[in-house]
Amino acid sequence: MRVGGGGGGGGGGGGREREAALLLVLIAAACGFVVVLLNLPDGRALPGAGGVPGAVGEHTGGTHVSVKERRMVEIVRQQQDVAAQELEGQTDENAAEADERISRSPPGAKEKLWMMQDQLIMAKAYLQFASLHGSAHLVRELKLRIKEIERVISHFSSSSRVPTSALQKIRAMEMTLSKAQRAYPHCSHMTAKLRAMTHQSEELVRAHRSETSFLEQVAVRTLPKGHHCLAMRLTSEYFLLDPKEREFPQRYTMQMGDLYHYAIFSDNVLASAVVVNSTISASKDPKRIMFHIVTDALNFPAMMMWFLTNPPNPATIQIKSLDNLKWLPADFSFRFKQKGIRDPRYTSALNHLRFYLPEVFPSLNKLVLLDHDVVVQRDLSGLWQIDLNGKVNGAVETCTSGDGYHRLENLVNFSDPSIINKFDAKACIHAFGMNIFDLKEWRRQGLTTAYNKWFQAGKRRRLWKAGSLPLGQIVFYNQTVPLDHRWHVLGLGHDRSIGRDAIERAAVIHYSGKLKPWLEISIPKYRDYWNNFLDYDNPYLQQCNIHM
């Protein structure tokens, strides 16, 4: 909170500096007088005339006051009188300077807005004093100025010039605050009042933050109305098709091993469409691409219908339902629900399906896994040429020099003996969202078995934070080859500071975080990178009022 000195108008200028200096003299004098009172021996006190410190008599309750002490009090009183006289004499001078200072101050609206907000804070604090002490005239004047400033702020625009009327209101408020300051010069009282107001404001901010967090969680977990409409329309039309029309044409022109295989595990039709469209658009040889989309039973018909009516030519696509993977544990779709954890990113069975990739695709030896909240901007065929040196996973590391947040100790419980004896707490976290996996090596090392072992251990005791990311760090510990950071830039779903150059150099950009690009709460400056790969003239999108 910015609190202006003196009249509360911000600004500077010679008059303001002199006024501040005189205020300091007054404060120093008052503090010196308190020291005298506190240090009088034998319980002696100095009586004041009319309740004003400094009117000193020869005796106090029969106790003699020394010449030295009386001289000290006289000096304090003289300093106060001189300072008060000089401050009073400067009232008209300050008022005259206020217009000049405001007129020559920068015309930017932001600075004037800050000044008026500070004036409101001071005025409301002084209003409390004036109301308590029955100063009716000052109360009326403060209320009038507060209404004027609030009205100006409510109509304030971001234009480069501040209207003359606003400058006049700022000056009038500055004059009123100057009067209030002379009427109530006790800085300790004002400090207490401002501290109380600050505490009240902080409590209000905390309440608003809590409300914002709750509403944000609702927005994250709730499917937008247009997306719900789209899923319903696609599903109903899928079941109107003849069974023979519900299959993709088999267009394999080469062996499965000659294709670039991309896996997408998603329950979001539009998100999957963007991943597919952007990958094809960026590819140098899209006819060699094969997409493998796995979704849940509820969204399978809608996913099928979308890609039947919007085929990813010249690439090939295959869509599977999670329920058709009969070899999965019977409770697989429900086993990741945790008490107190409602965020679907942490409880989704599709997120954990990545640990069964060799079983989902038994005929494949190498594959790229893409999250459904990514956009592909460069050809990814070079990933298949990277030598993984006998390791299983190729991924970008998320830590930088001195950045402790992205270290393993922030995801995993190193107070547990089974963790501390096997892992390095300072190990760098690698990203999920764009990974190249050697499935042949995965099978050889039995990492799916390792995953199941750690998952069961985590159910018995708290070994890591919620979600699949911490478990992934454990399963692929010492099994990951770091990739160049230009392959994968993360954070577009929470970090507003990512530069345009970094985004446009990246092969894949990832909206990791809660602010997904298909939600209204997404970060506006990143949204177009995602929107560019949807045709908003599509009849389904038009019918469901889905637009940019």
Indicate if the pLDDT at residue 152 is higher than 80. Answer: yes
Q: Is pLDDT larger for residue 82 or for residue 363? A: 363
Residue 230 lies in a domain: yes
Domain end call among 221, 252, 281: 221
CA 188 to CA 198: how far, in whole Å? 15
Domain membership of residue 112 as a residue range: 99-221
In percent, the amount of the chain with pLDDT more than 70 equals: 71
Q: What is the pLDDT of residue 30?
A: 46
Local confidence band at 219 (pLDDT 50, 70, 90 cut-offs):
low
Q: Are residues 290 and 181 in the same domain?
A: no
Q: What's the CA gap between 216 and 222, in Å, rounded? A: 10
pLDDT of residue 11: 42
| Cβ–Cβ under 8 Å, residues 510 and 530 | no
Q: Within 13 Å and on the Cβ side, how many CA atoms surround 278?
A: 27
Predicted pLDDT of residue 368: 98
Judge if 264 and 115 occupy the same domain. no
Chosen domain end from 190, 221, 252: 221
Token code pair at residue 83: 């300072």
Same domain, 410 and 539: yes
Residue 32 placed within a domain: no
H or E segment and range at residue 435? strand 434-438
pLDDT: is 218 or 419 the higher one? 419
**Cβ pair 248, 307 in contact under 8 A:** yes
User: Do 474 and 494 fall into the same domain?
Assistant: yes
Q: What is the CATH number of the domain that holds 366?
A: 3.90.550.10
Q: How far, in Å, are 69, 128, 197, 199, 407 from residue 121 at the CA level?
A: 40, 11, 9, 13, 44
Residue 302 phi, psi (nearest 5) = -65, -40
Among 22-26, 109-113, 322-326, 401-405, top mean pLDDT goes to 322-326
List the single range of 16-25, 275-284, 437-446, 533-542 with lowest mean pLDDT: 16-25
CA-closest candidate to residue 519, choices 211, 218, 272, 278:
218
Question: Element (H or E) spanning 291, and its range?
Answer: strand 289-295
Domain boundary among 221, 255, 276: 221
Q: Are residues 438 and 469 in the same domain?
A: yes
**Sign of torsion over alpha carbons 326, 328, 331, 335:** negative
Q: Which of 427, 523, 409 is nearest to 480 (CA)?
A: 427
Per-residue confidence band for 9, with pLDDT thresholds at 50, 70 and 90: very low
Same domain, 245 and 179: no
User: What pLDDT, in 10s, does the model give residues 521-531?
Assistant: 899 999 999 99
- Are 481 and 386 in contact by the 8 Å Cβ rule? The answer is yes
pLDDT at position 444, please? 96
Q: Are residues 213 and 262 in the same domain?
A: no
What's residue 506's pLDDT? 97
Looking at the structure, tell me whether residues 182 and 267 fall in a common domain: no
Residue 145 sits in the same domain as residue 261? no
Q: How many domains does the chain have?
A: 2
Mean pLDDT computed over 420-447: 93
Torsion angle, alpha carbons of 179, 181, 186, 192, to 10: 130
